[in-house]
Structures are given as structure tokens and as C-alpha cells.
């Protein structure tokens, strides 16, 4: 092949002899324009307008001409770079439905990404999710469109905190929610998700032959799990800033205004909220419930974009949307994804020693038998309190 036949990225790869585009050269020789200079022309329309049919109920006709050229550029760049995009359920609908290759909750994203052929992963989600992807795919390049996309749960606890807990309670296993940093996972005994939390708590208690487990850092998830099991739980004072805002009064008001709607809550909500719902489970469990039961009207007590994304797949259901926005998730935009891919920037690294230990905690969870359908919480249980660890 003559050098003139090479695309810009291929030429860069040939220059380095690496077989892969180099971020440094991509930044020095930008081939793709600024996102604001991308135009919605006939060629773009021909390539991506079919995607609008999917999101027409949740993306307005005024918004689409702004989104379409960036979506088009992302899809073409993704091919050129050999990248796969992971899109969390809380991404806005144009990201989730139009550029996400793998969609779902954080763990599903990381697990499926580990099996993907592509060498570059773009995490359309928050930082701990990108870290989890890197932990499970250490040989891949993991990019996040915004390094500042954090999480109130992940920032509520540090690895040093977990070390202090372990020193104070050597006889109790530490179960750590995946919404934590790599370091926190590394010092824990096993991870859990909002989907398998009850199962993990019971399994690790049996393995350690103990009736008490430490579950960190989400106090509401810990209280909701404690209501579902006989295992005693100690917890940490952390919370999701999105789900903790919902109150029992909110649910009562929604019930009164929409008596025909089924109310679904996430287990990061306070137990008093969950106790008033018809169904409680992870984002995956909520989506499965709506697909399987096809309720006429549903109210998802969770992050705003979740309803929009579930609505795309379930046009038979009307959604009431009393949602709260996650400011961290909303840092991820089409423009950010485009720029991360264009410049191969914002690479997430995890210290290899920490990554190996964190992988062991994740693997301990993954080694447990898998449920056929995402388990859900029994909302009819009594609300109970659990103590915090004393460290």
C-alpha cells in the first residue's frame, strides 16, 4: 500500500511501528474537527438518521440535528480506533441508544468489555466503572470522557478506611459495593452489586462461618439487605446522593396521584422508600420487570435517564418520571466521548498491585453461582436499622 493510501490514523500507526494509533501524535495532528464544527449535512443524515427512530420519544426534533453529527463522528472514529463504548443505564438516551456498544449496569459493562475483541474501551459512565473495566481488562486502554465523573458513594470511603475496619473486625468479612475505588475493593474480601448483594452477604457469611458481615459503603443498601436476611450487618455512613433524596412522602404523593402505576425503587434508596414500593431491585432488575410484566404505567425511583432508556425498549408502558439527576453521570456527553476517542485522552490507570487485589475481590463475587434473572428485594419486609462500624 502506498503511503498516500493510508488514513491519517493508519499513517500514525505506521510512523510508530506499533500497529496502533498513538495518542501523542493524534493530539499533534488532529484530523477530526472540533465537535462544534461538525455539521448535520446530507451525508450525516444518510448515515445516522435511522437511529432517530429509536429515540424519537425521548430526544426532541430540535435536539437531533445537534446530536446527529457528533454521533456520526463517534461511530466512524470508533471503527477507525478499534474501540468499544460501554454505556451505563444512567447515560442520556442519545448516548445509551445511539453510540453504546454494550449497555447495562456497571458490572455487566466491565464483564462484557473484558471479552470484547477491541483494544480500546471508552467508559460512558463514572470513574469507578472505568477502573472496574481496567481491573478486568488490564491489557486494554480504558478511556473516560471526563476524569472528574465521580460518585458520592465511591468518595465516601478510602482504602485506608477499609484497612482500619479490617484491623478492628478481623473475624468479619468485608463486603464492598462495586461503587467504590479500586483501592477500596483491593482491601475488601468480596464485592457485591445491588443485584447480588443479599446472595453475596449470605455466601461470605457461610464461608467465614460467621453470623455478622461488614457491608460498605452504602448504609441504605446495607439496611435494605439486612431486612432480607438473618445475617447481622455493620455498615459505613455512605450514600448515593441521587437515591438518598427520595422520601417516603414522595412515594405516598406519587401513589395518590397515579394509583394505576407500579412503583419500582432502587435498593440505594432509604428503606422507608423501598418499603412503600411495589418492586425493588437493581437497574437490571427494574428493566427486566418492565419488559416482562409490561405494566401500563410505571414509576422508576432512580436516576432520570433510566426511565428514558427503559422507555425506548418498552413503548407499551407510560413512564411517570419523578427522577433525580446524577451530576457525575451527566458530566459524560457526546462531545466528551468524541474528544476522548479523537485524541485517545483521559486514560484510566490502576496500580497493578492494587488491580490484582481488587480483581480477587471481584472474582470472589463472580465465582458465586449466577441467578437466571436479576434477583429483587422483598418490599414487604420490616424496615430495620443497622449499626455503623466503630473505627
Would the annotation count 179 as a binding residue?
yes
Given candidates 151, 263, 337, 362, which one binds ligand SF4 under the rule CB under 6 A? 151
SS3 of 349, please? coil
H helical segments located in the chain: 8-16, 23-28, 42-48, 52-55, 64-81, 93-98, 106-115, 127-136, 159-168, 182-186, 197-208, 219-226, 248-257, 271-274, 283-293, 304-313, 334-343, 352-366
152 is a site residue for ligand SF4 (CB under 6 A): yes
- Choosing from 81, 134, 185, 328, the residue that interacts with ligand SF4 (CB under 6 A) is 328
On whether 376 is known to bind a ligand per the annotation, the reply is no
Longest pairwise C-alpha distance within the chain: 72
Which residues, at least 6 apart from 74, have a Cβ–Cβ distance to it below 8 Å? 85, 99, 334, 337, 338, 341
Q: Does 196 bind ligand SF4 (CB under 6 A)?
A: no
Residues counted in the chain = 391
User: In terms of CB distance, is 72 or 161 closer to ligand SF4?
Assistant: 161
Scanning 25-33, 131-139, 140-148, 326-334 for contacts with ligand SF4 by CB under 6 A, the matching segment is 326-334
Stretch of residues binding ligand SF4 (CB under 6 A), selected from 138-146, 234-242, 284-292, 370-378? 234-242
For residues 64 and 298, give the distance between their C-alpha atoms in angstroms, rounded to a whole number: 26
Query: What's phi and psi for 357, nearest 5 deg?
Result: -70, -40
69 versus 270: smaller Cβ distance to ligand SF4: 270
Our CB check for ligand SF4 shows the closer of 152 and 224 to be: 152
Q: Is 151 annotated as a binding residue?
A: yes
97 contributes a contact to ligand SF4 by CB under 6 A: no
* 303 near ligand SF4, judged by CB under 6 A: yes
Q: Does 86 bind ligand SF4 (CB under 6 A)?
A: no
Going from the C-alpha of 92 to that of each of 96, 123, 124, 197, 329, the distances in angstroms are 6, 14, 10, 27, 9
Q: Residue positions in the annotated binding site for iminosuccinate?
A: 88, 106, 177-179, 194, 266-268, 283
Residues that bind ligand SF4 (CB under 6 A): 90, 126, 151-153, 179, 240-242, 303, 326, 328-329
Amino acid at each position: 500500500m502506498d503511503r498516500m493510501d493510508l488514513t491519517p490514523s493508519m499513517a500514525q500507526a505506521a510512523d510508530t511501528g506499533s500497529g496502533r494509533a498513538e495518542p501523542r501524535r493524534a493530539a499533534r495532528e488532529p484530523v477530526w474537527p472540533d465537535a462544534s464544527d461538525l455539521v448535520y449535512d446530507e451525508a450525516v443524515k444518510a448515515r445516522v438518521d435511522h437511529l432517530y427512530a429509536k429515540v424519537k420519544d425521548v430526544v426532541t426534533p430540535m435536539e437531533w440535528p445537534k446530536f446527529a453529527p457528533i454521533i456520526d463522528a463517534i461511530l466512524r472514529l470508533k471503527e477507525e480506533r478499534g474501540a468499544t463504548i460501554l454505556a451505563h443505564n444512567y447515560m442520556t438516551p442519545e448516548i445509551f441508544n445511539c453510540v453504546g456498544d454494550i449497555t447495562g449496569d456497571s458490572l455487566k459493562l466491565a464483564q462484557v468489555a473484558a471479552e470484547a475483541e477491541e483494544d480500546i474501551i471508552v467508559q460512558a459512565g463514572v470513574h469507578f466503572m472505568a477502573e472496574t473495566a481496567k481491573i478486568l481488562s488490564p491489557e486494554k486502554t480504558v478511556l473516560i470522557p471526563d476524569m472528574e465523573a465521580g460518585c458520592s458513594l465511591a468518595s465516601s470511603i478510602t482504602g485506608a478506611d477499609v484497612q482500619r475496619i479490617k484491623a478492628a473486625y478481623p473475624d468479619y468479612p468485608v463486603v464492598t459495593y462495586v461503587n467504590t475505588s479500586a483501592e477500596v475493593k483491593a482491601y475488601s474480601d468480596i464485592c457485591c452489586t445491588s443485584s447480588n448483594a443479599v446472595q453475596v452477604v449470605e455466601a461470605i457469611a457461610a464461608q467465614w462461618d460467621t453470623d455478622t458481615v461488614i457491608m460498605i459503603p452504602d448504609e441504605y443498601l446495607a439496611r435494605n439487605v439486612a431486612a432480607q436476611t438473618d445475617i447481622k450487618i455493620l455498615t459505613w455512613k455512605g450514600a448515593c446522593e441521587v437515591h438518598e433524596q427520595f422520601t417516603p412522602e414522595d412515594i405516598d404523593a406519587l401513589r395518590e396521584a397515579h394509583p394505576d402505576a407500579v412503583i419500582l425503587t432502587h435498593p440505594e434508596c432509604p428503606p422507608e422508600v423501598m418499603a412503600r414500593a411495589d418492586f425493588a431491585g437493581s437497574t437490571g432488575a427494574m428493566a427486566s420487570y418492565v419488559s416482562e410484566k409490561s405494566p401500563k404505567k410505571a414509576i422508576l425511583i432512580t436516576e432520570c435517564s433510566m426511565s428514558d432508556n427503559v422507555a425506548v425498549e418498552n413503548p407499551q408502558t407510560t413512564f411517570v418520571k419523578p427522577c433525580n439527576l446524577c451530576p457525575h453521570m451527566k458530566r459524560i456527553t457526546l462531545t466528551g466521548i468524541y474528544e476522548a476517542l479523537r485524541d485517545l485522552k483521559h486514560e484510566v490507570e490502576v496500580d497493578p498491585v492494587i488491580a490484582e487485589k481488587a480483581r480477587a475481590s471481584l472474582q470472589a463475587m463472580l465465582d458465586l453461582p449466577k441467578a437466571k434473572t436479576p434477583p429483587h428485594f422483598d418490599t414487604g419486609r420490616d424496615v430495620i436499622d443497622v449499626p455503623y462500624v466503630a473505627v
